[in-house]
Structure 1
């Protein structure tokens, strides 16, 4: 465990109505094919703050929604019995055993490709978060560092936590599983994590997610912008179609970062931050996942629009136009116009 020399600042987790009933953590050694339980007392404040911070961070996340294949699968059965009080929390060691076995198998498969699984720290906790009972299972980052007094290599836990994979299993008032949310630091959620280890099934398939996410973004964000500014609507709709067709994975924050954050509206006074905040709420409000693999054939929207520029000139948009290709402009006399980047058109007009 890291000593205080590896801690660069006081760690504090947010004060909120979050109770940790039980918690266990394990290091998984894939090479030796064994796991080691980490014991820590409540007075080891740095470690407990680290754990509390991870539990808090995961608990406020959403994630891709999954359902269990059967109540008799190993992980689901163990956590359900723990919440109902039928078995002791110490039985979660069987979950560590299972993950070790699955990760050893997964590592053998990907080692041929020169890839390596993140070993990390397995943390399993039973909590009540704002009166909602949950089991959280996650893999968090550990690191090796040189201790500055002894100059020896040590293992420790970073203050800036990196959570590789997690699952929140949420229970209703009758202690039955209500929701399951899975997160992964990778662009797509590793199949070994949700399928082989947790034995879950996707609640919404990728094609359904793709259709719904695009439709909801268009109706709740883009069409609302259209009521304020037609040109900003078309700019952002084009950018959105391009995002859905050019990326392999959808992640709501990534969409916001690439399409909305940093966008400078053509119409003065258009509050883009309002729409960014609205976009963040869409997955939870309209029942689609905030992270999934895009199915490009599901996006049938096309850009084909005729814009009248002059009584004898129309601009016809027949497909996607990269951002910056068409821009509004003013000349030295402050006359309004548009600028189109085109070498072909330049030559056609005597350039």
Structure 2
């Protein structure tokens, strides 16, 4: 991988300006680490362009053609195109800030790094443009205990990143793939700034992810570890019924990392987790998508036969279902369900104390 050219900007929404920062030699290592982190990130979504003539895509295409044809005029033309991209981001963030001003929230403060990269791929001439917004919220300088703007040279938090890859085919520069990482759900980055659309929409991702995980849980647990199946199914539904940006790996980790099983062995649970983490690749859904709760509402209810004339209906959207209901063996040899009741009328309907 060869970094052809990079520029660094502070995007100041509060003061409505952009500020270019010259990149010193010792900062190149930071950019190399950033690019390595961004390009190796698998928690991304794949996108497609609306048109090759949209502003950002057209700027990137022209910059790379200048590099290939050596017409960048010592990168002065490249600089002008990058300024156009950064100014567009500022405009989009100002619009986004205006839309959310009544909520008390603000657009995340950050610095923008844009890099052009030539890839080392055998028998292929490939290039990438990487656009990353990184956290620069600041730090306390221990020399004078004053707050300054900046970030760690060893670690960085990436708010947003986009990797746009190109290949040379028959002497033509062809856009190959676009991958986007978002640390949270925001629409302006893809919709108004980059003007790109997801290849697989949120409804399809929600359907595939839920169905794939639920099927894997059922196959592994439903028969031999029904308690674990019920609890983990509820965790899945509770997580996906929220209208939020889903980070798939994070969801699986939150479901299983601290989970203490009731019936399934630890080694089988570890194998299940490994299988779940491989589902996006095998089932064709993405690791990042916005959950669409309405797509799983029909799957959020199960009916259990208790005894003759009595059934138990569970809506799988309750928090901590494992603390709400449990089964017990009675001294009389019968099995019983113990349910925590929060509705007073329901509780009073089953009082059997005659006092």
TM range (shorter): 0.7 to 0.9
Partner of 2:289: 292
Choose from 213, 237, 243 the match for 2:233.
Answer: 237
Q: 1:79 to 1:280 in 2, by over 3 A?
A: farther
Counterparts of 1:337 and 1:160, CA distance in 2:
55
**Which position in structure 1 is the counterpart of 2:47?**
66
Q: Match for residue 223 of structure 1?
A: 219
Q: Kindly state the Cα deviation for residue 117 of structure 1 after the two structures are TM-superposed.
A: 1.8
Equivalent-residue separation in structure 2 for 1:137 and 1:93 (angstroms): 13
Select 1:142's aligned residue among 116, 133, 136.
136
Structure 2 residue matching 1:157: 3-state secondary structure = coil
In the alignment, what sits opposite 2:174?
176
Partner of 2:150: 156
Shift of 1:113: 3.9
Give, in whole Å, the separation in 2 of the partners of 1:199 and 1:247. Answer: 23
User: Against the structure 1 CA distance between its residues 261 and 345, is the aligned structure 2 distance closer, same or farther, given a 3 Å change threshold?
Assistant: farther
Alpha-carbon offset, residue 213 of structure 1: 1.4
Given that 1:171 and 1:178 are in contact with CA atoms closer than 8 Å, whether structure 2 keeps it comes out as yes
Q: Does the aligned pair in 2 maintain the 1:206–1:292 contact within 8 Å? A: yes
SS of the aligned residue for 2:322 comes to coil
Could you say what the CA RMSD is over the residues aligned between the two structures, in angstroms? Answer: 3.3
Helix, strand or coil at the partner of 2:156: coil
**Partners of 1:340 and 1:49 in 2: CA distance:** 60
Distance 1:38 1:253, change over 3 A: same
Cα displacement string for residues 199-249 of structure 1 (whole angstroms, at most 9, x for unaligned residues): 111222222222121112123444234465344333322332333334544
Residue 17 (structure 2) pairs with residue 34 (structure 1): yes
Mean Cα deviation higher: 206-215 or 316-325: 316-325
Residue 75 of structure 2: aligned partner: none
TM-score, length of structure 2 as denominator length: 0.77
Structure 1: how far apart are the matches of 2:261 and 2:14? Answer: 54
Provide structure 1 residue ranges, at least 5 long, that are not aligned to the other structure: 1-17
Contact 2:325 2:340 in 1 (8 A): no
Among 140, 165, 179, which residue is 2:160 paired with? Answer: 165
**Is 1:53 aligned with 2:33?**
yes
Pairwise mapping of residues 261-340 of structure 1 onto structure 2 (< 5 A)? 261-270=257-266, 271-299=268-296, 300-306=298-304, 316-320=312-316, 322-327=321-326, 340=338
Indicate which of 99, 107, 124 corresponds to 2:89.
Answer: 99
Whether the 8 Å CA contact 1:169–1:179 is kept in 2: the answer is yes
Check the 8 A contact 1:144/1:154 in 2, yes or no.
yes
Shift of 1:314: 7.1
DSSP-derived class of the 2:241 partner: helix
Q: Structure 2: how far apart are the matches of 1:148 and 1:237?
A: 49
| C-alpha contact (below 8 Å) 1:122/1:139 kept by paired residues | yes
Specify the alignment match of 1:82 in structure 2: 63
**CA pair 282-177 structure 1, distance change in 2 beyond 3 A:** farther
Query: What is the count of residue pairs matched by the alignment?
Result: 326
TM-score (norm 1): 0.78
